[in-house]
Structure 1
Amino acid sequence: MPGAPTPPPGCSAPVRGRPRSEAVEQAIVEGVIRLLEEGVPLAELSIERIARTAGVGKATIYRRWSGKEELFVDVLRSMEGPDAALPGTSMRDDLVCLLDHLRRHGLDLRRSTLLHNVFAQMKTLPKLWDAYHEVVIDPRRRVMHDVLRRGVADGELPADTDIEFASDLIAGPMLLRSVLRSDAPLVEDLPEQIVDTVLAGLRPAGRG
């Protein structure tokens, strides 16, 4: 599996603390991932089977997660890795950092392939799909929206900028290449290309 490239300066993954139960929780999460890699459908993953694979009791799982949906969301979140820590130096730098996180995500072929398979299955499991969006996707969208709102407040974008539409314009090309077009190159300067192209169309006339 090819290694992920070094992120741009100031765009690094946050350091997280280590709770006392991390080893047990990690064993459970890895047990779910192992079953998914073996081709077991999400709908057929029972708590009993997960516990057996992870080498723990069912009660151990239920003490940490209320049910499969909550567990699966944490599994998906762990597969995607931590969110990027934004440099905060400018709107452009933060946007480039967010897109580079998506780019590096797409470069991880093993994880990307497994996630694509899981995403396809999740669409038939509305509760899991909704929970994943609420816990993982929506917070990430809010981060980009906040960055763009800061750009508006600083005068880098017009006051009437449609934040949600601008966010889709910026994230869309990277998601297209990293999710839908596995043959498309994810070159190192792609985040800069996308951000600069979109901002050139959004910014007031005369601003570089």
Structure 2
Amino acid sequence: MSLADSPAPPGMPTRGRPRSEAVERAVIEGVLKLLEDGVPLAELSIERIARTAGVGKATIYRRWSGKEELFVDVVRAAEPSDAELPGTSMRDDLVALLEQLRQRGVATRSSALLHNVFAQMKSSPKVWAAYHASVVRPRRRLQIEILRRGQENGELRADVDIDLLNDLIIGPMLVRTVMRPEVDAEIDLSEGLSERIVDTLLEGLRPVDGPRSVTSSTA
């Protein structure tokens, strides 16, 4: 899926210039080609990207304010699409979010290029800050919203620290996808991991009189 097909992250301003899917795809593929050729992220210039993509520098600047914003779009285009939440329960929405992270981890491990891009991005403070602002922060807001809604619906104890719980839920998946990249993905990121993480944590966090909502039939 091209980034041009994806909606802007919640809270992020949309660009005034009408989007051109063909132009954006050409630019993003131009960046990926340069990375595949071994050009380090830090050495990619807008001029070189424009030449590779067959567009003018002004065309790129009309769509991206600079390299940092462009690189974030390149990473987003290479990642699996954001999760579509079923909305049937807090549990099901959390599983969907974790599954997106698991799929991203599998994709990163199976793609040397994507793994290399992530590694380089984290070593560039400006690029990492841009990625955090446009991707990580909106995803965290969504996670917190799901947990608060579950608390209001009686699926979660009222005394639970939502911010801490969010870290407890997301943390195990991040450990397996980011902190342990050398482990066999087929074992460490096997199917069903998302459900196991969510169900293990929620088992001890539901109200003592039981949840008022029905969990997924596949639980």
Instruction: Judge same fold: TM > 0.5, yes or no.
Output: yes
SS of the residue corresponding to residue 184 of structure 2 reads coil
Q: Is 2:184 aligned against 1:183?
A: yes
2:203: which partner in 1?
A: 200
- Partner Cα distance (1:136, 1:123) in 2: 14
- Partner Cα distance (2:71, 2:38) in 1: 15
> Structure 1-normalised TM-score?
0.84
- Partner Cα distance (2:146, 2:206) in 1: 14
Contact 1:96 1:195 in 2 (8 A): yes
Contact 1:105 1:112 in 2 (8 A): no
**Cα distance change of structure 1 residues 147 and 16 upon mapping to structure 2, 3 Å threshold:** same
Contact 1:106 1:112 in 2 (8 A): no
**Cα distance change of structure 1 residues 148 and 60 upon mapping to structure 2, 3 Å threshold:** same
Contact 2:109 2:115 in 1 (8 A): no
- Over residues 84-120 of structure 1, what are the superposed CA-to-partner deviations in whole Å (9 max), with x where a residue is unaligned? 1101000001011111111122222566543432233
1:25: which partner in 2?
A: 24
Q: Is 2:158 aligned against 1:155?
A: no
Which ranges in structure 1 are unaligned for 5 or more consecutive residues?
A: 1-14
Q: Could you tell me how far 1:161 is from its partner in structure 2?
A: 1.3
**Aligned residue pairs: how many?**
193
Give, as a single letter, the amino acid of the residue that structure 1 aligns with 2:24: E
**Cα distance change of structure 1 residues 145 and 122 upon mapping to structure 2, 3 Å threshold:** same
Identity of aligned residues (%): 67
Contact 1:79 1:111 in 2 (8 A): no
SS of the residue corresponding to residue 203 of structure 2 reads helix
- Over residues 113-158 of structure 1, what are the superposed CA-to-partner deviations in whole Å (9 max), with x where a residue is unaligned? 4343223323332222111100001111111111100111111112
Give, as a single letter, the amino acid of the residue that structure 1 aligns with 2:184: D
2:105: which partner in 1?
A: 106
1:85: which partner in 2?
A: 84
1:75: which partner in 2?
A: 74
Contact 2:72 2:130 in 1 (8 A): yes
**Cα distance change of structure 1 residues 103 and 78 upon mapping to structure 2, 3 Å threshold:** same
Contact 2:108 2:115 in 1 (8 A): no
